[in-house]
Amino acid sequence: MSAIALRRRTLPGFGLTMGLTLTWLSVIILIPLAGLFLKSLELSPEQFWAILSSRRTLNALRVSFGLAFAAACVNLVMGSIIVWALVRYRFPGRRIFDAIVDVPFALPTAVAGVALSSLFAEKGWLGAPLAALGIKVAFTPVGIFVAMIFIGIPFVVRTVQPVLQDLDPEIEEAAGSLGASRWQTIVRVILPSLAPALLTGLALAFARAVGEYGSIIFIAGNLPNVSEIAPLLIVIRLSEFRYADATAIAVVMLVVSFVIIFAVNRLQRWAQDRIPMH
Amino acid sequence: MTIEVKNLVKKFGSFKALDGVDLKVDDGELLALLGPSGSGKTTLLRIIAGLDWPDSGEVSFNGEDALAQGARERHVGFVFQHYALFRHMSVFENVAFGLRVQPRAVRKDEATIRARVKELLDLVQLDWLADRYPSQLSGGQRQRIALARALAIEPRILLLDEPFGALDAKVRKELRKWLRSLHHEINVTSIFVTHDQEEALEVANRVVVMDKGRIEQIGSPDDVYETPATAFVHGFIGESIELPVHVEGDVVRLGDRPLALKAEGLASGASKLFVRRHDMLVGPPGSGAFEGAVQHVRNFGPVQRAEVALSGGQTIEIDAPRDRELRAGDTVGLAPRRFRIFAG
């Protein structure tokens, strides 16, 4: 008793906050996920396999993960450029542009979906000129791609922005005075310094795009095997009362997402270890 | 490599960082730019490096216009106050950076680069740290790596911005000696910026004292200490007693009291009298130009530092040898062994 009393913590409240943390994480995240796995156990391995290997499921997963990854990559590139402009230059309206980045965060996804689909519809402002060029966006996989870019961009910008702000411009001057060209400075000095943040941004934008539902279903056209995303297939299976099918797809999405996030996390840890922050 | 700077002016908004600076640096010199913060010394260094551009004026290296070239083409080694090491690269790669980014036509092969980096790490005595990352090094080690990195490109000129400013006093003293011997070894024309007079006087061959964007004095460390050219230099370098006096003909007055000092060839009017603390000789009352009461005495090794209230009302600090102990309450006469009077 006295030994414990002597080793009193300088920061009290560990027991209480830790207990609340565990309870809360269990109730909000772990129990629902466990429920999902339990539900999928109602299926025999053969049934499970049959659902997953059906053409429609595979195509839905391919559309979701493939396009989400492509959209995240586009966001990585464009987001980095936006961050660069916002952080490194002072121009009129900078704060407004900075605020605009957050719009996809704040907008209800259904509103975004309606706006995007009317914009890119064949008679829409952007859809009409694109249609004249022979490019159809709305109600095709391209539409899904556009919606995924839309909802993912703030994740890249907001994760990379603070890191770039902390990056001392002196290291660019140092690179320049050592004879590096602008391009060499970007590739050899700036990008490697931003790598952990860029990877985090990529992972977040990707995860968001994989899970996105609201904005996509309006613009996708939802043609099975072509422009049907996995979350929509889950909803369809649910509405058909095929709960086990729905959970099987959900479990696969969960596992794949988890593996990807975990891999990115390792990659990020590796990059971070090489740049210990002090 | 000689450096010549002519009539350099640089403004940041309405602030004049450099207000007409002329400077010639000889080949192989180790020059200190000394001044308080805001005196323009770092701006001057950055302009020579090509990291900043003047509003007007000229900079030339060996008579060649340097302003026509960017930082990249000038072949100037620059060492930053906060090192600016690339934290995602090992020490080895940091030093190798300047060699790896050379245009392909002149780039050395990997073996040559490795040998050169090894040589530089030996030069700064840190070859055993090659595989560490900058965050794993102490401040003094980082500074030496930054120096090795700058030397890798075989710079024509070496520029150091407050090289020891962020280090603690002991490391700083070691590095000063080391920098001087390193300069002796490599003999590259070098300029370093500092606000620490001791550092400037100890390390440099020549010292440039700056204030408010202007050069106040250029001279050897002895020159700037023994014969300061202006009131600013006298006050900035060495510990000085400064008293407001009035000169009329050859009479110097402190308040309304004439002082027993010879003032020859001075302009009449309000002036400033400067005496080094250790140049005030202590004697019995009435023995010197000043008289005062000792207030406090503290001992610093070989000297005692006494706070003396002069009869005119001013309080000054003097450094006296310990042969005659002073006590608070003593009345003493003070005779300046050497003094300088500047108009203004």
For residue range B227-236, list pLDDT tens digits in order: 899 989 998 9
DSSP assigned state of B160: E
Q: If we measure between CA atoms, which residue out of A217, A184, A32 comes closest to residue A112? A: A217
Token pair 């090794």 in the structure block, residue: B301
Helices A191-211 and A141-166, axial angle in degrees (round to 10) = 140
Domain range for A163 is: 41-274
| C-alpha count within 13 angstroms, C-beta hemisphere, residue B314 | 15
Write down the ipTM of this complex: 0.82
Residue A148 lies in a domain: yes
Residues β-bridged to residue A158? none
Residue boundaries of the structural domains of chain B: 3-232, 239-343
Residue A18 lies in a domain: no
- Rounded to 10 degrees, the C-alpha dihedral A213/A219/A222/A223 comes to -150
For residues A121 and A158, the model is more confident at A158
Residue A10 lies in a domain: no
Kindly determine whether residue A178 and residue B51, on different chains, have CB atoms separated by under 8 Å.
no
* Cα–Cα distances in angstroms (integers) from residue A103 to residues A4, A98, A106, A112, B77, in the given order: 52, 10, 5, 10, 46
Q: Give me the DSSP letters along B214-242.
A: EEEEEE-HHHHHHS-SSHHHHHHSS-EEE
Closest CB to B101: pick one of A168, A178, A277: A178
Give the pLDDT confidence score for residue A9 in this predicted structure: 65
Number of domains in chain A: 1
Residue A5 lies in a domain: no
Interface test with B, best of A166, A177, A199, A275 (most B CBs within 10 A): A177
Q: Model pTM?
A: 0.80
The dihedrals phi and psi of B244, each to the nearest 5 degrees, come to: -80, 120
Kindly determine whether residue A178 and residue B135, on different chains, have CB atoms separated by under 8 Å.
no
Q: How far is B275 from chain A (nearest CA, A)?
A: 42
Q: Where are the alpha helices (DSSP H) in chain B?
A: 41-49, 91-100, 110-123, 139-152, 169-186, 197-203, 221-226, 231-236
Task: Residue B88: list chain A partners with CB under 8 A.
Answer: 192-193, 195, 274-275
Strand B240-248 and strand B157-161: the pairing is unpaired
Residue A155 lies in a domain: yes
Distance of CA A38 to the CA centre of its chain: 27
Is the pLDDT score of B269 beyond 90?
no
Residue A20 lies in a domain: no
Count the residues in chain B: 344
From 2.40.50.140, 3.40.50.2300, 1.10.940.10, 3.20.20.70, which CATH number describes the B239-343 domain? 2.40.50.140
Closest CB to A274: pick one of B74, B88, B101: B88
Q: Cβ distance B204 to B192 under 8 Å?
A: yes
The dihedrals phi and psi of B273, each to the nearest 5 degrees, come to: -100, 130
Residues β-bridged to residue B217? B209
Token pair 């965050």 in the structure block, residue: B135
Closest CB to A173: pick one of B51, B89, B101: B51
What value does the mean pLDDT take over residues B308-327?
A: 85
Give the pLDDT confidence score for residue A6 in this predicted structure: 53
For residues A14 and B47, what is the distance between their CA atoms, to the nearest angstrom?
55
| Domain of residue A119, CATH code | 1.10.3720.10
Q: If we measure between CA atoms, which residue out of B36, B64, B40, B37 comes closest to residue B52? A: B40
Which of the four pLDDT bands, split at 50, 70 and 90, describes residue A259?
confident
Name the architecture of domain B3-232. 3-Layer(aba) Sandwich (3.40)
Nearest-CA residue of chain B relative to A192?
B88
Is the pLDDT score of A2 beyond 80?
no
Task: Residue A277: list chain B partners with CB under 8 A.
Answer: 135
User: With left for phi above 0 and alpha for psi between -120 and 50, is residue B109 left, alpha or beta?
Assistant: beta
Is the pLDDT score of B83 beyond 70?
yes
Is the pLDDT score of A211 beyond 50?
yes
Kindly determine whether residue B101 and residue A184, on different chains, have CB atoms separated by under 8 Å.
yes
Which of the four pLDDT bands, split at 50, 70 and 90, describes residue A48?
confident
Q: Cβ distance A215 to A113 under 8 Å?
A: yes
Is the pLDDT score of A1 beyond 70?
no
Q: If we measure between CA atoms, which residue out of B127, B187, B117, B194 comes closest to residue B157? A: B187
